[in-house]
Amino acid sequence: MKRKLGAEDLFKINSVSNPQISPNGEEAVFIRTEIDEKDNKYYAHLFHIQLATGTISQWTYGKERISSPNWSPDGQSVAFLSNRDEKNQLYIINKNGGEAKKVTTLDSGVNSFLWDPSNGKIWISSKIKSGKTFTDKVEKEDKPLPKAYVVDGMKYKMDGIDGAGLVPQDSYSQIAVLNLNDESIDQFTTGEYQHSLQAISPDGKKLVVGVNRADNLDYVFKSPLLLIDVETKEETTIVDQNGYYGGAAFSFDGKYIAYAGSDHSYKNATHGNIYIYDVEGKTTVSLTDGIDSPVGDYAVADTQQGISSPAVVWTAANELYFQLSTMGDVRLYYATLDGAIYPASPEGEHIYDYAVTKDGKFALIAVSNPTFPGELFNYEIAAGERKQLTHFNEEFLKEVELVQPSDISYEVSDGNTVYGWLMKPAGFEEGKKYPLIVEIHGGPHTMYANSFFHELQLLAAKGYGVLYVNPRGSHGYSQAFVDAVRGDYGGGDYTDIMAGLDYAISQNDWIDTERLGVTGGSYGGFMTNWIVGHTNRFKAAVTQRSISNWISFFGVSDIGYYFTDWQIGADMQDPEKLWNHSPLKYAKNIETPLLILHSEKDFRCPIEQAEQLYITLKSMNKQVEFVRFPDNNHNLSRTGTPNLRIERLNQIVQWFEKYI
C-alpha cells in the first residue's frame, strides 16, 4: 500500500533536463538535478546515454551544478558550465572517458558559450569591468572596505542578485573567442553595453548577438538582434523594435535565422511568436501569427530545475520545432517555412525540455504530467511512439500515493470559458465531506498546466481538495484572454476565481462549504489579499510574496515603475487608482485568519509589502501571523534554500490545519 506524500518528499524528486543529441544522432547527454538534504543544496550532474540501447552512464559526480551541456561539432567531446569553483567556468570532457578539463578561469565566470564550427574554438560571454579586458586580472582586496552605490538610473536592482539586489556597476557582458589549442582569449565585442551570445552560422562566419545600445535604458523595453560578420564586424540589424527577442538559431544551410519573441502591443502580456529572418533577402516573417496561443513554456511548477529549453530547433530539411503553451498543455509543435503548422505531441502533458535529431525523425523530450514529475523519452515523431529512457523518479512513484486531478471548465459572466483542475483528497471516500483549498498562480501571465506540482499534491495528501484554475490574465488561451486582466486587477479575475469555486461546489457534494481555504504567491498573493478583503467565505488564507500596496510597490520593486503602469494602467500621477486596486485599502474588511509568508531578499515584491499588511492588520486586532524567510528571493517556492522550502510548506499546512 502506498503512503501519503509529505513535504520532505521534495528531496526524493529528481529533475531531468537539458537533453543534447550528438552530431551522429546516436547518443546524447542530459542533466539530472537532485536536492541533497544533508548539505541543503542542489546538485546537478551530467549523464550520457546510448540511444539505441538506452545505456546510461554518469559523467560527473562532484558537489556542483552542471549546466548548458553542448556537443563539439565533431561529436568527440562535450563542453559544459560548472560552479565547482564557485563561479561558473567552462569545462570540456571527452566522450571516451577521463576527467573534465577546466578551460576558463575568468573572474566573473562564463555566462554562456557556443562551439565554433571549426571545433577548435568556443565563443563565450562573460561580465567584465569597464576599461578591462578578458585577460585582465582583478586584484583581490584582503579586507575590502564597504563602498557606496551611486544610483543614477531606474533599473538599478534586480531580484535574484546576491546581497542587496543591486545590479553591478560598470560591469558589462562581452563576447570573446576561446582558442582551445592554447586557451588564449580574443575579445570580440566592446563598449559599455550588455551583449548576449545568440547563434553562430554553420560556416562560422557570422554571429547573432543581442545588444541594446540606448544611452538610457529606463524606459527602453527591447532586445535588438544583430547579425555580425566575424571577420569585418559589419553589422546587419535583424530586429530592433519594442519587445523581447532571442533564442536565435541558424538553419543548417545558413540561409535562415529563426528566433522567438513578442512585440510590445500588450506589454508583457503579448503572445510570443516564431520569426524567420532570410539572411540574403534581409526580410522577416512571423511564422506563427495564425496561432492564438503563445510560443514557449508558461507553465508554473515547483520540481523542475535548471531548465533551458531551446526557443526553436531546425532540422536539415528546414523544418522547425518549438514549444507552445495551449489549453493547459505545453506541447511540441512542428512547422515548415511555407506555413504548415501542427502539434507534434499529444495533449494532457507538459513537455518542459526537448531536442530534435538533425533528420527530424526523433526527439528527446522531457515530459511531466500531474502525477509524473518528469523523465526523458525517446520520441519517434511521425509514428507518435515513445520509449522512456530515464527512471530516476521510479522509486518515488512506487512508494507515494498521488492524486490525478479532473479537468473542469465553466462559463463566466462575460461569456468566456475558464479552464482548470480539481483534485480530490488522497484516500477520498464517497459520502464524506472534505475541506477545499483554492490555489492561485503568479504572473499573472503564466498558467497552471498538466504538470507535476508537489505543493498541490501535498495539500491533497493532507486531506484537502484542491481547486486551481486559469482565470483571465493566464497564458495558454487567446491574446484577448491573457490581456483581459490588465487594468482590471481584482475585477474580472476575482469573479473568474469565485465562479470556479461556485462551479466546483455545485458539481461536487463532497466539498464542505464551511471549510474553505485560499492561497497563492506573487500575483496569486495579491489575489489572496484581495479575496479576503472582499469576501468572508474562506476560513483561512495564506498569502505569499504578495503585493498589498501598489503605491509603494511602484517605487520599491525592481520592476515597479513600469510594471505598475502596464498592469494597473496608472502610475504615481494617479495614486487614487493605485490605491483603489491595493488590497491594503480593504484591510479593515478582512475577517479571515491570514498567514503572511515572504522572503527577506525578495526584490520583485519586496518584503515591505508584507510588513505593511501585517502591521495594519495587527493594529486592527485581526488574526494574522507573519513568517520571514532569510537569504531568499522571489523564487523561494521553486529554487529556494531546500530546508526553507520545506518550512514554507509546513507553515502553509499548519495554518490550514489550525483554522479549517
Give me the active site residues, please: 522, 634
- Angstrom distance (rounded) from CA 17 to CA 365: 9
Cell 503568479 locates to 442
Return the CA Rg of the chain.
25
Give, in order, the Cα–Cα distances in Å from 224 to each of 134, 216, 237, 580.
Answer: 24, 15, 8, 37
With residues binned 3-state (H G I as helix, E B as strand, rest as coil), the percentages for the chain, rounded to 5, are 20, 35, 45
Q: How far, in Å, CA of 409 to CA of 504, rounded?
A: 10
Helix (H, G, I), strand (E, B) or coil at 575: helix
**175 CB-near residues (< 8 Å, 6+ apart):** 123, 124, 125, 187, 188, 189, 195, 197, 207, 209
* Residue 167: Cβ within 10 Å count: 14
C-alpha distances out from residue 617 to 17, 104, 607, Å: 44, 53, 16
Cβ atoms within 10 Å, residue 391? 13
Note whether 392 and 32 are within 8 A (CB).
yes
User: Shortest CA distance to 543 belongs to which of 609, 477, 496?
Assistant: 609
CB atoms inside a 10 Å sphere around CB 318: 17
10 Å CB burial of residue 181 (0-12, 13-18, 19+) is exposed
Closest among 503, 660, 525 to 606, alpha carbons compared: 525
Strand positions, DSSP E, 279-349: 283-286, 313-314, 319-326, 329-336, 341-343
Angle at 40 between CA 38 and CA 41, to 5 degrees: 120
Residues in the chain: 660
Q: Write the CB contacts of 317 (distance below 8 Å, at least 6 apart in sequence).
A: 359, 360
Question: 632 exposed, middle or buried (CB, 10 Å; 0-12, 13-18, 19+)?
Answer: buried
Decide: 549 and 569 in contact? Cβ < 8 Å: no
In three-state secondary structure terms, 377 is: strand
